[in-house]
Structure 1
């Protein structure tokens, strides 16, 4: 019986290096650790969750698939369930970017002893990238994946120094061209539509706040248009 992953989870799993020891933080049903072991990508995994019920679901799945000796389940918040050096890869997916930043900030001993972080923020992606760059991470990869009608952003980071040529890359990622062109174009088009709507909604308003907001949206729209042109080069 093969573990079936959604496109989002499958993309996350595909970014794990072979032979990695992995911790999946906020594991929910434990599908990613199961997939990694079943496909011999990892030999050991930790499935961690702050809530008891999802962890019990993960434990049940682990028994069903027969990996009780190779996947450990741990109940607790953030990286508090880990010991320094016991894994080389940490996955944190399905949480907000600010929460992911807080989780990393609160466990510096674990962060320093871990090689790779695979992060999939549901929102505040720009804020997460800014946190990573400011706190000594190098973003090695920005991956997009479309599931149903939503495009998700996945960030792979390691300790190091990130070169920031333009501020817009905090918004669109530092490795946008590593994605299929149609998906990258759709991703940028969606962002342009957000700022276009802001401009249309406040067009004609004369307050200082409205003018400032319009100017911000106008500038971002133009920057994203430049990104779109750059993608096609």
Structure 2
């Protein structure tokens, strides 16, 4: 049995049993191998655009004797799929904006896909906004810390959802509702950047400098309110 990181194992926990799954940006196909070995996925596709990891994925799948169950494909984003080929898609290890572009550029390949399990590294608000605007609802979320980095997971299924609050888009509506403790660390990091920015504006004069200070102070107030909510 293959061993995978805590982050990938957490992503795997949101993959329904018995599905055909595609892991986009699969690196060395660790997640598909894990899913097939444990009987979670009946078939898997490992898509990878970079040649080195693609070749590594081929070797790993072959060495684990899973060539019949896992198809390793060289290509960009959802271009490795045909419509209706999989039930679930996982995408991780890249920014939320990049994941959004992958989904948007391959939107026709999402036909028949019932669940998306996405782990954006930053820019989660734009990804959530795209999902909601394109007929997906957020059904689950999670956060974890590994190697001094905070990762979030967004799970979406077909459906309607209204989410206008920018803080809910940024931090995750379900994560805020559940008062996930790692939100405190994320907010603290953002607050530290605001403190530095305000210090840099101490000598700034004129309306533009004051407008920037006002915006930063308003942002600080919002983040402090988020922290107060989580602590309550």
Normalising by the residue count of structure 2, what TM-score does the alignment of the two structures yield? 0.92
Deviations 1:94-121 (A, max 9, x none): 1222221111112222223211111112
Tell me the distance in 1 between the aligned counterparts of 2:211 and 2:133: 27
Shift in alpha-carbon separation, 1:43–1:146, aligned structure 2, 3 A: same
* Structure-to-structure mapping, 1:7-18, within 5 angstroms: 7-18=6-17
* Structure-to-structure mapping, 1:59-78, within 5 angstroms: 59-78=58-77
Aligned partner of 1:185 in structure 2 is: 184
Provide the aligned C-alpha RMSD in A: 1.9
* Structure-to-structure mapping, 1:103-114, within 5 angstroms: 103-114=102-113
**Does the Cα contact within 8 Å between 2:45 and 2:73 map onto a contact in 1?**
yes
Aligned partner of 2:20 in structure 1 is: 21
Tell me the distance in 2 between the aligned counterparts of 1:180 and 1:148: 22
Q: CA deviation at 1:38?
A: 1.4
Tell me the distance in 2 between the aligned counterparts of 1:151 and 1:179: 17
Bigger Cα displacement from structure 2, 72-81 vs 153-162 = 153-162
**Does the Cα contact within 8 Å between 1:144 and 1:179 map onto a contact in 2?**
no
Tell me the distance in 1 between the aligned counterparts of 2:209 and 2:158: 40
Normalising by the residue count of structure 1, what TM-score does the alignment of the two structures yield? 0.91
Aligned partner of 2:224 in structure 1 is: 225
Q: CA deviation at 1:232?
A: 2.6
Unaligned runs of 5+ in 2: none
Aligned partner of 1:168 in structure 2 is: 167
**Does the Cα contact within 8 Å between 1:26 and 1:92 map onto a contact in 2?**
yes
Aligned partner of 1:209 in structure 2 is: 208
Tell me the distance in 1 between the aligned counterparts of 2:153 and 2:141: 6
Bigger Cα displacement from structure 2, 202-211 vs 103-112 = 202-211
Bigger Cα displacement from structure 2, 124-133 vs 31-40 = 124-133
Q: CA deviation at 1:51?
A: 1.9
SS for the counterpart of 2:153 is: strand
Aligned partner of 2:156 in structure 1 is: 157
Aligned partner of 1:132 in structure 2 is: 131
Aligned residues: 232
Aligned partner of 2:41 in structure 1 is: 42
Q: CA deviation at 1:151?
A: 0.4
SS for the counterpart of 2:166 is: coil
Deviations 1:171-205 (A, max 9, x none): 11111147674323223222222223322322342
* Structure-to-structure mapping, 1:73-84, within 5 angstroms: 73-84=72-83
**Does the Cα contact within 8 Å between 2:87 and 2:114 map onto a contact in 1?**
yes
SS for the counterpart of 1:139 is: strand
Unaligned runs of 5+ in 1: none
Q: CA deviation at 1:39?
A: 1.5
The runs of 4+ residues in structure 1 deviating greater than 4 Å are: 177-181
